[in-house]
Amino acid sequence: GGMSGFDEGRVTWSDQGLADDTRSFGVSEFQDFIRQFQVGDEFPYRDQLKKNTNMHEYRLEVNLDDLMTFNPKLNDALREKPAELMPIFERAARDVYASMLVGRREDGETPPDVQVILTSTCNPVGMRDLAAKDYSKLVHIQGIVISASKPRVKATMITLQCKSCKKLVSVLVKPGLHGCSFPRACEGTPGADLQQKCPLDPFQVLSDRSKYVDLQTLKIQELPEQVPTGEMPRHMTVTLDRHLVGRVVPGAVISAAGIFTILNQKPRQASASSVRLPYLRALGIMEVSG
């Protein structure tokens, strides 16, 4: 399914912030990096993108040390605001891929999304050293995988249709463990009179016009050498999506780059306060050999 759902309904973030157009910021800088980063006579990212997409592997693995060399400001911005800039990086990768295809593609065919996967040689922080200052930043951690969930499918964009007036609305779903809430009321057809107001909760999901990705959850534990004497080892939840799913199995020692995220879980009892679950939304994982 292409992006067709975006044309008909308005697009909103599920927590009611509107999906704005500030995302064009940085696309050209990321494109320049993919096209122009050079080692000797080679252009590793341009070549990797061509090679991967030729095999229908829509991903680009980027070493952040290279981005640092090429454009330190962009690298700093990505570390500060990964949730904002990763979609821009991925859009840039898709645009570079689309420009390689010119003349080889059916008219109007949308190129598939390209996942950008991050690696880095920087030193990981200990799980117990992550603090409030790290929320929403790009962090690197290491640990041993103690469990891995079965992969499941998660919506990234849901197209809803009002059963009453047939209007379409697109809802973007935040990545990671966040769910989304549907609007309860349909604003109806503009200009319709009040007698034709749609009932409450009129929306049904059009799954064939929604977008989904694979999602997997890992639990990782501190390595023995990271645990202070006499303490219990800490655990952390890590989410993987798309091409990262299925890459590692329990027992593996991994280093993961990702966004330090907090999920506010609604309590089961009304009286209880909400639980804050910290987790890492991985943007890259590597198995570390013993």
Tell the residue number behind the tokens 């009179």, with chain if given.
193
pLDDT value, residue 123? 83
**Residue range 154-194, pLDDT digits in tens:** 999 999 999 988 889 999 888 888 888 888 888 766 555 65
Residue-wise pLDDT tens for the chain (290 aa)? 333 333 333 333 333 333 444 443 589 999 999 999 999 999 999 999 999 999 999 999 999 999 999 999 999 999 999 999 999 999 999 999 999 887 666 656 678 899 999 998 888 888 888 888 999 999 999 999 999 999 999 999 999 999 988 889 999 888 888 888 888 888 766 555 656 778 888 899 998 999 999 999 999 999 988 899 999 999 999 999 999 999 999 999 999 999 999 887 776 666 666 778 889 999 999 998 75
Rounded to whole angstroms, what are the CA distances from 3 to 7, 10, 25, 95, 191?
8, 13, 21, 15, 27
State the Cα–Cα distance between residues 94 and 178, nearest whole angstrom: 25
Strands 211-221, 152-162: parallel, antiparallel or unpaired by DSSP? antiparallel
- Supply 286's token pair: 């590597």
Alpha carbons 209 and 170: distance in angstroms, whole number? 9
Cα 276 to Cα 261: distance, rounded to the nearest angstrom: 10
Among 209, 269, 274, 215, which residue's Cα sits nearest to residue 244? 215
Q: Which two tokens stand for residue 240?
A: 């993987």
Domain ranges of the chain: 127-152+213-287
Q: What is the model's pLDDT at position 178?
A: 82
Quick one: pLDDT at residue 244? 96
CATH number assigned to the domain with residue range 127-152+213-287, chosen from the 4 options 1.20.1250.20, 2.40.50.140, 3.50.50.60, 3.40.50.300: 2.40.50.140
Q: How far is CA 211 from CA 49, 72, 155, 208, in A?
A: 23, 34, 6, 8
- Contact present, 228 and 262 (Cβ < 8 Å): no
Q: Enumerate long-range contacts of 225-232, CB under 8 Å, 24 or more apart.
A: 226/126, 226/127, 226/128, 226/142
Which DSSP state fits 190?
Answer: T
Q: What pLDDT does 131 receive?
A: 87
What would the pLDDT profile of 108-144 be if each residue is shown by its tens digit?
A: 667 889 999 999 888 888 888 888 899 999 999 999 9
Helix residue ranges, H only, the chain: 5-8, 27-36, 44-54, 64-70, 72-80, 82-100
225 in Cβ contact with 123 (< 8 Å)? no
Tell me which residue of 171, 175, 154 sits closest to 13, measured CA to CA.
171
Which amino acid type is present at position 39? V
Do 106 and 47 form a contact (C-beta atoms < 8 A)?
no
Q: Quick one: pLDDT at residue 160?
A: 93
What integer pLDDT is reported at residue 237 of this predicted model? Answer: 95
List Cα–Cα distances, 241 to 20, 24, 59, 164, 212, in angstroms: 24, 24, 12, 35, 10
